[in-house]
Amino acid sequence: MRLISPHGGTLVNRQVTGPEREKLIEASARMPSLKLNARAISDLELIANGAYSPLEGFMCQADYRSVVETMRLANGLVWSIPVTLAVTEEEARALREGDDVALYQGDHLLGVLHLAEKYTYDKEREAALVYRTTEDAHPGVRALRAQGDWLLGGRISLLNHPRDLPFKEYRKSPAETRALFRERGWRRIVAFQTRNPIHRAHEYIQKCALEIADALLLHPLVGETKADDIPAEVRMRCYETLLSLYYPAARTVLAVLPAAMRYAGPREAIFHALIRKNYGCTHFIVGRDHAGVGNYYGPYDAHHIFDEFEPGELGITPLFFDNAFYCRSCGAMASSKTCPHDATEHVTLSGTKVREMLRAGKLPPAEFTRPEVAQVLISALREEPNQLSTPR
């Protein structure tokens, strides 16, 4: 059975094995070295396993500039987010183009960067175009300004996986999800991106999408997020609880995406869609304010950005959903597209109100969130009172 092709046509694999791996491990002791932060470690892993296909390494200058300016790689292929390795000027001076550079997580060897280029870049230009703001209050802009002033580009070779990986049973590579889809005979797979617990509106749009697909890949992001986002381990307990009670096990897969959030709104919606294409998905749900933060993006900017590309360029079909809610008059979940009733009939709660209820040990209305999920969040709050942010 033929699945959707990876972005660019080939699923990248930069995970080195056998004699080549042993040779690079031995040589790494004589290489210049760098210690990677959490985002770079995530990017390294996702380049290596093909989630970022067609990228084979951190971007060189031509690709970087083209992506920032045009949302395309230098060869014209759609790509919306720069994937770069930033270093300080001092670190850059110590490296020569053509070097092999050992990459570490603390004292744990991860892999090698085959350094092709080192170059400076315009942080303000990247902020303005990728994040659509230059305000430090934006977490993506803040992270960009805090990183080094030089970028290193070149192919990578992964020698060892990162240490202490959480959710091992859910960490499926694109090759593994594709094998699973093929084994089960699924042709139309819809993916859902989330960094928050799922409430009834999310459940509604997922199940609407599942009506036209063979299966749902619930694919929460578990890489680096904002400090006030709900921790991944709490979110995973919510997903496990919800799926065990309310979703068809034969048509649902839960797996994690170990990527870092950029909070780049519309551009990140394209990025997330292309990643799920590499995992073998044919459809991708784009809801209200996808990958947004604060009020930096309009509620449906992440829908409109898909219109900037020709049909077929992305190779994965976006499914656009409006904000959903429970309508008392309809007696069902609905959206502005399907509900004719006044907003006074809609069950909606502010994030502040939800937090207040959960902290008081009270269950929000079942029309807003499943009580079993609310109980998970209440228990988590009792363990750590400050870890709950606004569900989206």
Which residues does the annotation mark as catalytic? Answer: 195-196
Give the strand order in the sheet containing 283-286.
252-254, 215-220, 189-194, 283-286, 317-320
Helix H or strand E encompassing 190: strand 189-194
DSSP one-letter code for 129 = I
Other CB atoms within 10 Å distance of the CB of residue 274: 25
DSSP one-letter code for 36 = -
- Considering only CA atoms, give the Rg of the chain: 21
C-beta separation of 291 from 314 below 8 A: no
Q: Is 379 helix (H, G, I), strand (E, B) or coil?
A: helix
DSSP one-letter code for 304 = H
Q: Can you read off the two tokens belonging to residue 228?
A: 């006030």
| Residue 68: closest CA among 134, 142, 124 | 124
- Residue type (1 letter), 356: E
DSSP conformation letters of 102-144 = EEEETTEEEEEEEEEEEEE--HHHHIIIIIS---TTSHHHHHH
